[in-house]
Amino acid sequence: MSSMKEKEKQFAMAADTVSRVTKEIKSFIVGQEEVIDQVLWSIFSGGHVLLEGLPGLGKTMLIKTIAECLDLQFSRIQFTPDLMPADITGTMLLQADENGKQKFVFHNGPLFANIVLADEINRATPKTQSALLEAMGEKTVTIMGETKSMEKPFFVLATQNPIDMEGTYPLPEAQLDRFVCKIQVRYPSKEELKEIAIRTTGIQSTPLEKVATVQEVLDLQQLAKEILVSEDILNSAVEIISATHPDSEEAPEMAKQYVQFGSGPRGLQSLIQMAKARAMCLGRYHVSMGDLKRLALPVLRHRLLLNFEGEANGISTDEIITEIIDHTISQGVKVK
């Protein structure tokens, strides 16, 4: 009984910490509540995030603000076509030791941080993207045969511009699949635009408070793994993933007509991990059907590959995923 009370206390403290972190971020960032929540759920699930939105919507500022509130080491990499793998991972340099002899010493690149902002990631060449892929997937980098482990915790929050695609290199499917979710950053409303102007054009600045520590972030990640997933919820998640495949019996007509390839097993893993993190942040001990419904879009929108007919008709993966959710989950489920 005491163990159960201790666990309840941990979950209550976790929800309180997340609430204070969210409040502090929102005191500085105007609007984008859904984006803030989804980024935090991704961090506490231990996953990487792909942010897509027009220039000037505050993607970089949002990531820097989250890093500061969580007291995480922040690093920004501006991806360009001439960026080489060693520019982000680091390299071996000849250096004299105390005896005057020359030896190779590894110098860390900007990738060695807790939160790495990969700005305009699709402007880098595939060679550089593959170096980032190893860090994202294995949490290590290999230089001259020597393997280096990344910082803990380690997150890549990448941004890409949906317009101005000239001179870009589309991310391969294997790398897209490494992102736990793809978040669409929306344009602010009129009221939010007005508040942004007030906050950013005056002389006053709002100092940010460090609400959590690195160890607390690691503890929250571990606690999220303990969230319960019932057999029914797991079956529903499996049905959602299965329905993204056009040759599946569970697939709705829209998926069968417009999808070429659906989500793989990593999509299911990401959906469960994000659902657990969301449940923890909301103070629940278990995953609900509402978690699956709320997270299906960001988790799966970059994992569906449309066929020629889908692209020609301008069909979006969001439309297909919405159809899948309506097809597989009862309309009577309330999202909360």
In-domain check, residue 205: no
pLDDT of residue 210: 84
In-domain check, residue 322: yes
Q: Which of 39, 61, 45, 65 is nearest to 211 (CA)?
A: 65
Same domain, 179 and 154: yes
Enter the tokens of residue 243.
């329905």
Other Cβ atoms less than 10 A from the Cβ of 105: the count is 12
Same domain, 172 and 261: no
Q: How far apart are CA 68 and CA 65, in angstroms?
A: 5
Same domain, 257 and 216: no
Write down the H helix ranges in the chain.
2-26, 33-45, 59-69, 85-89, 126-138, 173-176, 190-200, 214-224, 231-242, 253-258, 265-281, 289-300, 308-312, 317-328
Residue 223 · residue 12 · CB < 8 Å: no
Q: Which of 240, 262, 217 is nearest to 330 (CA)?
A: 240
The neighbouring-strand residues paired with 115 are 74, 155
In-domain check, residue 290: yes
Residue 294 belongs to domain with CATH number:
1.10.8.80
Q: Which of 197, 201, 208, 176 is nearest to 317 (CA)?
A: 176
Same domain, 53 and 141: yes
Same domain, 174 and 250: no
Residue 36 · residue 42 · CB < 8 Å: no
Q: Which residues of the chain have pLDDT under 50?
A: 1, 331-336
Q: How far apart are CA 325 and CA 243, in angstroms?
A: 9
Residue 122 carries which DSSP code?
Answer: G
- Looking at the chain, the whole-number percentage of residues with pLDDT higher than 70 is 92
Write down the H helix ranges in 124-172.
126-138
Q: Which of 181, 264, 278, 263 is nearest to 229 (CA)?
A: 278
In-domain check, residue 118: yes
Task: Give the 3-state secondary structure of residue 69.
Answer: helix
Same domain, 21 and 164: yes
Residue 177 carries which DSSP code?
Answer: T
pLDDT of residue 204: 66
Same domain, 166 and 307: no
Enter the tokens of residue 333.
């489920």
Task: Give the number of domains in the chain.
Answer: 2
**Radius of gyration (C-alpha) of the chain in whole angstroms:** 21
Same domain, 118 and 6: yes
Residue 287 · residue 233 · CB < 8 Å: yes
Please report the DSSP string for 283-305 in residue order: T-SB--HHHHHHHHHHHHTTT-E
**Chain-centre distance of CA 32, in angstroms?**
15
In-domain check, residue 185: yes
Same domain, 72 and 164: yes
What is the span of the domain harbouring residue 143?
2-190+212-221
Same domain, 185 and 243: no
Same domain, 180 and 233: no
Residue written as token pair 């659906």: 262
**Chain-centre distance of CA 245, in angstroms?**
23
Q: Are strands 74-78 and 179-184 parallel, antiparallel or unpaired?
A: unpaired
pLDDT of residue 334: 41
What is the value of pTM for the model shown?
0.86
